[in-house]
A and B are shown apart, each in its own frame.
Chain A
Amino acid sequence: MGDPPPDPEPPSQQPSSWRSSQTSQRRSWEVNQFQPSVSEEVQQIPLDGLDLQSSQGIPASQTNLRGWSSGASLTQPENLMYQPEEAPLGGLEYPSLNMGFPSELQPQPYLEEGESQATRTASLMLQQLQQGQGNLFQQLDSSYQPDLLGQFNMYQREDLQFDQGAQHGPYMRDDPTLQYTPSELGFMPFSMEVPEPEPRELAVQNAKAYLLQTSVSCSLSLYEHLVNLLTKILNQRPEDPLSILESLNRTTQWEWFHPKLDTMRDDPEMEPTYEMADRQRGLFLRSGAGGEGEQELEEEVVETAVPNIMETAFYLEQAGVGLSSDESFRIFMALKQLVEQQPIHTCRFWGKILGLSRSYLVAEVEFREGEEEAEEEEVEEMMESTEGMDAHGGEEEGEEDEEKVIDIIPKPMWKPPPIVPKEESRSGTNKYLYFVCQEPGRPWTRLPHVTPIQIVQARKIKKFFTGHLDAPVNSYPPFPGNEANYLRAQIARISAATHISPLGFYQFSEEEGDEEEEGGAGRDSYEENPDFEGIPVLELVDSMANWVHHTQHILPQGRCTWVNPLQKMEEEEELGEEEEKADEGMEEVEQEVGPPLLTPLSEDAEIMHMSPWTARLSCSLCPQYSVAVVRSNLWPGAYAYASGKKFENIYIGWGHKYSPDNFNPPLPAPIQQEYPRGPEVMEMSDPTVEEEQALKAAQEQALAAAEEEEEDEEEDEDEDLDD
């Protein structure tokens, strides 16, 4: 029941004592005193049937009250249930009348009038409130709620109605007659009773006037607020309203000051949401317009580039990873859009990399033969120009001044390490092209090819992705490129380390037997094994030897196939921290060798005594139908599943490699010498007296010796001359 006594204490005491002692006569007498305030209430809130209420409503209310007072001697509320039915019209007035009073009324009568009367007045009203409200208002639901609502809305809209109400304030304190305006002559019959206002009535009016006061800072009076609040409670009928009264209070006030915008204006807050929904709507529409539908259908049947994301999502869900199914479907649609826009031969959902303000969805694609060249050049040119700029920026920021721009005379001794050439597209780290987009429906952006130096540097840094591809990577050591390059480098590293497949799914193709001579990493291409039967799930889980890497290992150099960078210079190249299982040391000029393609996972190096992979069944309760799930411990977020002939890899994470130890950025390089240091620029310590004297003595000695020699020479010369 919606029965909120705003101030629970008085009604609990007074009405009970009052109920037992009062006679019905008195009560009816008091009820009569109520008439003016009732009429005033009617005038205050004009409803549609004013005339009806003014002529019928008041008598009805009287009868109601009389009937009620006679019934009130029965304390059981059930009896009261009937009264509203007897006189439902009168019931309407009481809620609005009573709403404002109970809390504020009591003090004033005590001050101004005889105690007994005032208490009775207050208690009568409180009782009406307490007992009558629940019953009376139940009826409101069906018959009178619309009116109440209308009234509520009128307040909300700050109509004329409300201004009128505000004007009443000053008059009511003095004389109730003044509040009747000529336009409301319909009330004149009642005003006849007003000239001799009873003291109690005056008190009621004073109290109401007090409640209607508005402060300077706020145009809302307590009276209106309480009306709003009670209307809200009665309309919504929350359970146990007392416990949430405070917050209701607050929300009512908030709603008052934040009126609902009308329908013609858009909610600026929701604007981006609608915009996004509009974009995504494009995904679900068939791209072809008009009669192309059938043709497209045929095309789609042939088209195999779009992967079956939903199937993958199903298996990944079994594994307890992956995105929710509706998001997967959106990605599916976005990939379809990508395939339609680009000349794509194969396509795969690589995963998702989380960023600070946005995340990246990554698609791994392969263009059709010959298609990519033109575009690639374009992109590359673009990328190179930006790259150049970025590299420049990076140098300026970095502590190593790699190149001098200004006219400084001393030339730096530092020589840049030889640049390791980038791998060709369709080979090594650049085997696939990667497209990223931030959210399904947004445009896909192509990532540039990765260069070895980027991979080498990416191994040395650990930065969060921001979600903006053009953001600079502020790090030490400086990273050559912006976030797009860093992202691409991390994708390459993650792919190389975590792309795995069941043993035997891929095999080396027959033709290329002499691959060994060219690259160190063995053969670099493979094909699907048509005879692959699938490995039982339990075996896949039990032994990591049943899984193989099918992406080439990246050498410390940053390439999959080794090239000798020292053809031009004899500089030892900087070796980055080695990828995962590469445990060969730092060779001087020696060729770097990584594990060959399709190496089983059991060969992988351990990280700090812990195995780099964790394998398990998706469901332990029914192992026969579950899928094998492998989780990478080296790249948290990388998962693979396999079931029968199907397998898939996915990465969803922050794009960082796991390290049990803290990240330790390398120390800055030692400070370089500004100029060659020699005795001429060295500061000498002053000689002591002894040293000076010793020097002097030595000089004198030397002088003497020289003179002697000279003399000897002269003598010799003389002799010579003589000769």
Chain B
Amino acid sequence: MDSESLLLSLELASGSGQGLSPDRRASLLTSLTLVKRDYRYSRVLFWGRILGLVADYYIAQGLSEDQLAPRKTLYRQGHERRRSKARVPGERGPVAARWTPDIPKTAVSRRVRSLGGLNCMEWSLLPPATEEMAVETSVVKGRFMGDPSHEYEHTELQKMKEGEKVFEEEVVVQIKEENRLVSVIDQIDKAVAVIPRGALFKTPFGPIHVNRTFEGLSLSEAKKLSSYFHFREPVELKNKTLLEKADLDPSLDFMDSLEHDIPKATLQGGYCYHPHFTGSWSIQMERGNALVVLRSLLWPGLTFFHAPRTKNYGYIYMGTGEKNIDLPFML
């Protein structure tokens, strides 16, 4: 959700039961403004938070003028230090400071910037997600801790060759939570970041801009998955046949639509009771039909909201950062 309309957006997204406390809201408004100034973003999105056992991560993203250009992700650790210290005395100092020295190799630019003297106001730039990171962190299960320097231990069997003998050896791999955080954010962005059709448009020269004339979906459109797009570079679009592409408007339909998500949304699914089976999404009308809310079933915690016929839309993730792999059993 746009940081400028944060308050309204939070209010609209509150149907999932997750919000921000007043002090968090206030500090976010302040610190995101500063982030926008310092990092020279054209838009700052408040992405959401990932609930950890000890502390929560608050994530924001900066967008440049081109909306689909690679995003920079910032996070901050939103938890009072007092408790961390109380829990593990002496071990956990100010996290940002401790975390600074080990800069991962993939980081392009990474600054730890302190914004004001208040607690929970520091935003740190996360390194960009890479393929290796995704592979490496895919083995981690369980909840986030809330400490980026926390290391998960994973034992895996590796085949060792010594002369002619091949034997397996257990190797303990250390995986940093920071890497997991990066890769989870990236996965969520790629899988379930949503934007209504028409909110962005592609200029003839390629860059993608916010459509100023977007006046919201109509009510009937808002109930269809086909009116929503994945907010990412298109993947499926290239695989479409010419016939399917014929009806697309190149300046608007340049992203993948949600209706092709797996499991596929069908009308009157054979094994499903509800008449409009919507695949991995739950579409609901809230507030007496004045608000349409999409919730991802694949990444529970992601809420997309849009008030039909208005420009208000956005998505927020507030969850544990775990994918729902049980989805096939649950529908």
Q: Which residues does A use to contact B, with CB under 8 Å? A: 238, 243-244, 246-248, 251, 269-270, 272-273, 276-277, 279-280, 317-324, 327, 351-352, 354-359, 439, 441, 462-464, 466-468, 471-472, 474, 541-542, 608, 610-611, 614, 616-623, 631, 633, 636-637, 650, 652-654, 656, 658, 660-663, 665
Contact = CB atoms under 8 A, between A and B. Distances in A.
Contacts of B11: 324
A352 B22 contact: no
Contacts of A614: 53-54
Size band of the B side of the interface?
Answer: 35 or more
B80 A357 contact: no
Contact of A357 (B16, B23, B276, B326): B276
Contact of B119 (A441, A621, A652, A660): A621
A396 to B, nearest CB: 15
Contacts of B20: 320
A619 B289 contact: no
18 contacts: A243-B209, A273-B219, A318-B21, A318-B22, A319-B21, A322-B17, A324-B12, A327-B15, A354-B282, A357-B274, A439-B286, A441-B288, A542-B86, A610-B142, A611-B53, A617-B80, A656-B330, A658-B320
A139 to B, nearest CB: 27
Contacts of A653: 17
B239 interface: no
Interface in B175-193: none
A471 B273 contact: yes
Nearest to A637: B17
A723 to B, nearest CB: 87
Given A320-B20, A662-B326, A464 B331 contact: yes
B26 to A, nearest CB: 10
A608 B142 contact: yes
B14 A358 contact: no
B211 interface: yes
B141 interface: yes
Given A317-B21, A616-B83, A661-B141, A327 B287 contact: yes
Contacts of A660: 141-143
B241 interface: no
Given A273-B290, A541-B83, A660-B141, A354 B16 contact: yes
A636 B289 contact: no
Given A468-B273, A542-B86, A660-B142, A356 B14 contact: no
A272 B289 contact: yes
B7 to A, nearest CB: 11
A260 to B, nearest CB: 13
B36 interface: no
B284 interface: yes
B212 A238 contact: yes
A618 B21 CA distance: 7
A620 B282 contact: no
A652 B203 CA distance: 42
Given A317-B22, A320-B21, A462-B326, A354 B14 contact: no
B291 to A, nearest CB: 10
B201 interface: yes
Nearest to B146: A614
- Pairs of residues from A and B, 6 with the lowest C-beta to C-beta distance, nearest first: A652-B17, A620-B80, A276-B288, A663-B326, A273-B289, A320-B21
A654 B282 CA distance: 11
A358 B86 CA distance: 43
Contact of A620 (B120, B287, B289): B120
Given A247-B201, A269-B220, A322-B17, A356 B282 contact: yes
Given A317-B21, A658-B320, 17 more contacts: A243-B212, A246-B251, A248-B213, A269-B219, A273-B288, A280-B288, A327-B15, A357-B284, A464-B330, A610-B53, A610-B143, A621-B118, A621-B119, A633-B143, A637-B17, A652-B18, A653-B17
A462 B325 CA distance: 12
Contacts of A317: 19, 21-22
Contacts of B83: 541, 616-617
Contact of B288 (A320, A439, A665): A439
B21 A323 contact: no
B261 to A, nearest CB: 14
Q: Which of B11, B15, B287, B320 has its CB near the most chain A CB atoms (within 10 A)?
A: B287
B325 A662 contact: yes
B80 to A, nearest CB: 3
A321 B54 contact: no
B119 A357 contact: no
Given A318-B22, A611-B53, A620 B82 contact: yes
Contacts of A247: 201, 211, 213, 251
Given A247-B211, A251-B213, A616-B83, A462 B288 contact: no
A481 to B, nearest CB: 14
B323 to A, nearest CB: 11
B119 to A, nearest CB: 6
Contacts of B14: 322-324, 327
Contacts of A272: 285, 289
Contact of B82 (A467, A472, A623): A623
B213 A244 contact: yes
A354 B295 contact: yes
A216 B284 CA distance: 42
Interface string B82-96: 110010000000000
Interface string B39-54: 0000000000001011
A462 B330 CA distance: 6
Contacts of A665: 329
Contact of B320 (A243, A280, A466, A636): A636
A357 B282 contact: yes
B213 A269 contact: no
Q: Which of A324, A611, A622 has the most CB of B within 10 A?
A: A324
B118 A356 contact: no
B72 interface: no
Contacts of A650: 17
B329 A663 contact: yes
B137 interface: no
A183 B276 CA distance: 59
Contacts of A321: 17-19
B126 interface: no
B16 A652 contact: yes
Contacts of B86: 542
B23 A621 contact: yes
Nearest to B289: A273
B194 interface: no
Given A317-B22, A468-B274, A608-B142, A323 B330 contact: no
A272 B329 CA distance: 33
B300 A654 contact: yes
A276 B289 CA distance: 7
Interface string B1-40: 0000000000110111111111110000000000000000
Of B220, B274, B285, B288, most buried by chain A (CB within 10 Å of CB) is: B288
B219 A320 contact: no
Contacts of A276: 288-289
Contact of B19 (A322, A468, A474): A322
Contacts of A246: 201, 251
A355 B282 contact: yes
